[in-house]
Amino acid sequence: MRILIVDDSSAMRTFLRETLESANTPVRLEVSEADGGLEALRLLPRGPYALVITDINMSGVNGLELLNFIRNADQHRKTKVLLISTQAAERDKQRGLSLGADAFLAKPFASEKLLSVVDGLLRGGER
Query: What does the pLDDT profile of the chain (127 residues) look like in tens digits?
Result: 999 999 999 999 999 999 999 988 777 889 999 999 999 999 999 879 999 999 999 999 999 999 999 999 999 989 999 999 988 778 878 888 999 999 999 999 999 999 999 999 998 865 4
What is the predicted pLDDT for the residue at 88?
74
Distance of alpha carbon 91 from alpha carbon 118, whole angstroms: 22
Q: Which residues contact 123 (CB under 8 A, 6 or more apart)?
A: none
What is the predicted pLDDT for the residue at 90?
81
Q: Is the peptide bond before 48 cis (omega within 30 degrees of 0)?
A: yes
- 101 within 8 A of 69, measured Cβ to Cβ: no
**Is the domain covering 2-122 a CATH 3.40.50.720 domain?**
no
Distance of alpha carbon 124 from alpha carbon 121, whole angstroms: 5
- pTM attached to this predicted model: 0.93
